[in-house]
Amino acid sequence: MLELLKEEMHCLVNLYQEKTDVSLCSCIEGNMGRAWVDKDENPTIAIVVVADFCYLLGCITNNNIDVTRDELLKKCKGKIIVSYDNSWISIMENFYSNNLNRFSRYSIKKELDVFQKNILNGYIDAIDPKFNISRIDASIYFEVLKDDFMADCCSNYSSLEEFLKHGIGYAIVHNGEIISAASSYSYCEGSIEITIGTKDKYRNKGLALAVASKLILDCIEKNIYPRWDAANLESVELATKLGYHFDKEYKVYSI
C-alpha cells in the first residue's frame, strides 16, 4: 500500500462520509496520523492510524485481499481497530482469529446546546478547594507528558507549540502530582475528542466531573464541539452527568 503525504490526505474523503470521528477527520485534514491506500488516485481502501486507533475504510475485494491481509498485521497490531465495512472484519476473523480480540465501545450523540453552564459550574465549585484546576500550558505540558497515566492528554501533538495552537486541556495538580485531567485527544475543524482520567487514589471526589466541565465550558466559549466517545459504561455515566446522551454500542477489534 502507498503512504499518503499530509497534503494528499484529502483523497480519503470519499471513503469516509460520516465525519463523526474527530481523530479520523483530523488525519483527513492532515493534522494527525498516517494513512495508506491501495492507489493514490481514487483509492478504494485505506488504513488510517491515529494514536491508539486504526481505521479501516473502503471495501475489500478479491483484487486487494492478499495485500490487505499482510498490511493489517503490520500497521494495526496492538491498535484499537474500527472498521466501517464488514469485509475487513471477515479478513480479520479468517486470518487472525486466534489473535483477534473483540470488545465494545459506546458512541455518544453529538447534540448542540445540550450543556447547561450552571450545572457545569456547579461541578467545578463542588470539589474541595485544595484541588485547583489549571489550564495545561507551557508550565505543566511536559509534566503531563512524563506522567504515564496522563500522557494521552498531550502525547498526540508533535510539540508544545502545536498543542498550544490546537489543543485544549485542564489538569488538577495536587502536592506536585497531576491527579486528574481532561484534554483534547485529537482535533479537527470545529471539534475536539475528549480524553479524561483520574488516578485511582483520587476517584469518587468529583474531580473528573469538574475538570471535564472546565474543558467543556472553554470549548463553548471557543465555539468548538467537545466530542465524547466512551471506552466503558463508567465513561458513559460520566458523559451523561455532563449533559451528553448515549447513542449506541459498537464493536471494535485488536490483533
Quote the CA–CA distance of 4 and 174 in Å, as a whole number: 43
pLDDT digits (tens, 9 = 90+) for 86-126: 999 998 998 898 999 999 999 999 999 999 999 999 999 99
pLDDT beyond 70 at 64: no
pLDDT the model gives residue 128: 95
pLDDT the model gives residue 67: 66
Helix (H, G, I), strand (E, B) or coil at 174: strand
Stated pTM of the model: 0.93
CB < 8 Å & 24+ apart, contacts of 128-133: 128/205, 130/174, 131/172, 131/174, 131/179, 131/180, 131/205, 131/207, 131/210, 132/172, 132/173, 133/170, 133/171, 133/172, 133/210, 133/211, 133/214
- CATH code of 108-248, in short, is 3.40.630.30
Quote the CA–CA distance of 222 and 189 in Å, as a whole number: 12
pLDDT the model gives residue 73: 85
Specify the domain boundaries for CATH 3.40.630.30 within the chain. Answer: 108-248
What is the mean pLDDT of the segment spanning 186-212?
Answer: 97
Quote the CA–CA distance of 60 and 143 in Å, as a whole number: 43
